Structure 1
Amino acid sequence: MAEETSKNVVVGKGVTIATQAFGEPYAPPVLLIMGAMASMLWWPDEFCRKLVASGRYVIRYDNRDTGLSTKYAPGNPPYSMEDMAGDAAAVLDAYGIDAAHVVGMSLGGMIAQILALSAPERVSSLTLISTSPMGLDLELPPISAGYMEHATTAESLDWSDRGQVIDFMTKDARMVASTAHPHDANRIRTFVERDYDRSGGLLSATNHFMLQGGDTVKGKLTLLEAPLLVVHGTTDPIFSVEHGRAIADAVPGSEFITITGGGHELHQDDWGTIIPAIVRHTD
């Protein structure tokens, strides 16, 4: 069985990032960066192991304010998306990796773009899932009205109340789910409970809604050096498929894969498309 190891990475200024690696360190490294409010657990264990079975060394980690990583008082995060891109580079340093194949989802895709554009020598290839282009002045479709109606209820939520938060996050997962596959609400709720309890709550994670950044890469996406794969669901209610298309159109030679009926999630029924695509892209 492939080895799985965990370590805490100190990235400076009292910031510690919790990480976990799957597989053999001699295999091509793949760094997974997850999105807003989501700990590393939102890269499912079995998703990581399937990448390992395809001959990859996989590293996932908790972004600041999620999971077991450093957390801050809610309301005014003292860090930017550029700092979070620096965290990704520090994780690679801690594992002795000069460059990795970077896979980012949602906010993680934005962080991955900043990393690839500000430190191109660290990124062997870039895969962006369910995210939006950084640094391009484009008019793209907004978040869907249905999801926005749901999201506004978060303003009145008591984020220190476990029951309220789990109810909200379970509904949130339903709101962003695939329209092509069954949604297992009981399984999702059990997972959200696990994530909540491991993180000690999600109050600090709300800082991700107030993040600033991206100015350092303004206008640079067209200059991306890393080979690019874009994967996007056709019914994503947060970043519509036009966001993914805009990224691919901006980068010559990129590959664009749509997931028919795909939402803003890594639905297990779509892994048969997503994982082989990542493996091909990282060969």
Structure 2
Amino acid sequence: MLLIMGTSTMGMGWPDELVKALLDGGRQVIRFDHRDTGRSDCVDFATHPYTLADLAADATAVLDGHGVATAHVAGASLGGAIGQWLAAHRPERVLTLTAIMTGPMGHNAGPAFARALAGRDPDPDDLPPPAPRFLQHLARLAAAPPAGREERIAANVETWRVLNGDVLTFDEPAARRLVVAEADLSGDSRAAANHHLAGKTMTEDRLVPLSSITAPTLVVHGTEDPLRPLPHGEAVAAQIPRARLVTVPGMGHGFLSPRLPRQIAEIIRGHTSLAEYGKRTREICKGRAT
């Protein structure tokens, strides 16, 4: 199973509790640091800009490095868009797709974001913008950027608190461990912002219809996601044939709430197990397995 994390977040964004639950369920798990995060190299984006396709190529390179031809792919946030890209363009590498707290890879969220920041009403024909509280948090950070390591750590913990939403308990110690690890391991803490640039770059390959995806797909989305409200996940599920949508009550945009990582792991395990059962049944019917 390949776990693909979201924007500006290293592989440890997949909590140990979630990974252990997958391991206990018989999965072999790979989580990795995107370029510009954790132990991976940092990139001069101005000189060598990259796109979602490049991040997807990184993911396949990780599989190649481990000698894995095909895998269950689970992606969170930007990682969910990367997973969609792989399922659409590299279907032979994807056994199943689990897209968590994400939107359609071909949807440009920029206009809705800009309208909200300008105080304009949402476009009824577009997917909804982030929640006001999240936008207010971004505005505060822009008005008074954190200076120094401790201020940046505190600001990043607060960002995770806002992303968690107001329903589920926020696991602040877990958030702080993640943020401190990112600060300690990253060669350049500013480089992770390049993911925002890559994520908002709309290229032709992102416009491939999601209806072309054939991998069994599960879409998991929280009811209280302040960054990508629930209609984003509903749109992904509506566009991928036979995709299933599981909504998680109270979940925001992240895994930083007690017991939530195990809950998400159990959802992923159930999806991948059902898909494997279906594949084996088809093989038996065709006489290729006993």
Unaligned runs of 5+ in 2: 109-124, 274-290
For the residue of structure 2 that corresponds to 1:230, the secondary structure is: strand
For the residue of structure 1 that corresponds to 2:234, the secondary structure is: helix
| Stretches of 4+ aligned residues off by more than 4 angstroms | 74-77, 156-160
Structure 1 residues 147 and 84: CA distance shift in structure 2, 3 A:
same
- Residues 132-211 of structure 1: pairs in structure 2 closer than 5 A: 132-135=103-106, 139-155=126-142, 161-211=148-198
Q: Say yes or no: does 1:129 pair with 2:100.
A: yes
Deviation at 1:201, TM superposition (A): 4.7
Question: Which amino acid in 2 is paired with 1:103?
Answer: A
Higher helix share: 2
Deviation at 1:169, TM superposition (A): 0.3
Q: Say yes or no: does 1:70 pair with 2:41.
A: yes
Q: Deviations over 1:188-209 (max 9, x none)?
A: 2243112211224521101112
Q: Say yes or no: does 1:279 pair with 2:266.
A: no
Instruction: Give the paired residue count.
Output: 254
Structure 1 residues 165 and 201: CA distance shift in structure 2, 3 A:
farther
**Selected match of 2:238 from 249, 256, 269:** 249
Structure 1 residues 194 and 219: CA distance shift in structure 2, 3 A:
closer
Larger Rg: 2
Structure 1 residues 257 and 190: CA distance shift in structure 2, 3 A:
same
Deviation at 1:274, TM superposition (A): 1.7
**Selected match of 2:76 from 85, 89, 105:** 105
Q: Is the 8 A contact 1:157 1:164 kept in 2?
A: no
Question: Which amino acid in 2 is paired with 1:101?
Answer: H
**Percent sequence identity over aligned pairs:** 37
Q: Structure 2 length as normaliser, TM-score?
A: 0.82
CA separation in 1, counterparts of 2:152 and 2:188? 8
Pick which of 218-227 and 56-65 moved more.
218-227
Higher strand share: 1
Q: For residue 276 of structure 2, what is the aligned residue in structure 1?
A: none
**Selected match of 2:207 from 194, 199, 218:** 218
For the residue of structure 2 that corresponds to 1:229, the secondary structure is: strand
Question: Which amino acid in 2 is paired with 1:238?
Answer: L
CA separation in 1, counterparts of 2:266 and 2:171? 24
Structure 1 residues 200 and 162: CA distance shift in structure 2, 3 A:
farther
Q: Deviations over 1:31-57 (max 9, x none)?
A: 000001100111112211110110000
Question: Which amino acid in 2 is paired with 1:225?
Answer: T
CA separation in 1, counterparts of 2:6 and 2:218? 17
**Selected match of 1:41 from 12, 32, 36:** 12
Q: Deviations over 1:219-257 (max 9, x none)?
A: 420111111000000010000000001111112211110
- Residues 229-248 of structure 1: pairs in structure 2 closer than 5 A: 229-248=218-237
CA separation in 2, counterparts of 1:75 and 1:149? 28
Q: Is the 8 A contact 1:159 1:203 kept in 2?
A: no
Deviation at 1:65, TM superposition (A): 0.5
CA separation in 1, counterparts of 2:258 and 2:216? 25
Structure 1 residues 160 and 60: CA distance shift in structure 2, 3 A:
farther
Q: Structure 1 length as normaliser, TM-score?
A: 0.83
CA separation in 1, counterparts of 2:228 and 2:189? 23
Q: Is the 8 A contact 2:224 2:250 kept in 1?
A: yes
Unaligned runs of 5+ in 1: 1-29
Higher relative contact order (CA 8 A, sep 6+): 2
